[in-house]
Amino acid sequence: MNEIHTNNATLPPLETEVVVDPATPGSRIAAYLINVVFTLIAYIPLMVMISSSFNDLPAHRADLSNIGEAFSWTWLIGFLILLVYALLQIRIMSRDGQSFGKKIMKIRLLTTDGTNPGFRGAVLMREIVFNIALTAAASLIGRMLGTGSTAGDIANLVSLLVWLICFIMLFNRSKNRRTLQDYFAKTVVVKLPGK
């Protein structure tokens, strides 16, 4: 069996030899920002529908006691657009190990053994479970160290610290630029070979 080689480290054996380079910090950051922009664009129809629903209420009835009138089938359109976007993102992440941003930046996820992480690795472990675990841990630490709004501030600070650590990890070439999410899901983000 051959191995996957990166510039500075060797990953576990594979059937064939594949040489990959870890994705650059710039390409990973750009992919993340592209995903943020696409997500914001997907939210726009919902925000427009919500805004127009409340603007259509008569001024004397704009209080929240009649909020049921503000809801209309147009909200459903906004939710459906957001749902379609999320399902498409999940599908390509599961199938290709890439989000829309990663596709554009020509990078992808692989497991540490060089296979496609699929839904379990790319979506469930790396995105959903990691973020739930981070939120729970940050909340617990916040409650242990503070009370009331102070606990929330501490929890936010812990979350920010974790994301800062992940950002710094992007620059650690000796560890294949793996972040905490990558370790959690046993993945690595690599450059796609040029054509």
Query: What integer pLDDT is reported at residue 96 of this predicted model?
Result: 95
Q: What tens digit of pLDDT does each residue of 155-183 get? A: 999 999 999 999 999 999 999 999 999 99
Model pLDDT, residue 65: 53
Reported pTM: 0.78
The secondary structure of 3-56 as a DSSP string is EEE-SS-EEEEESS-EE--BPPHHHHHHHHHHHHHHHHHHHHHHHHHHHHHHHT
Domain residue limits, the chain = 2-191
Poorest-confidence range of 23-37, 56-70, 96-110, 129-143?
56-70
Give tens-digit pLDDT for 37-49.
999 999 998 888 7
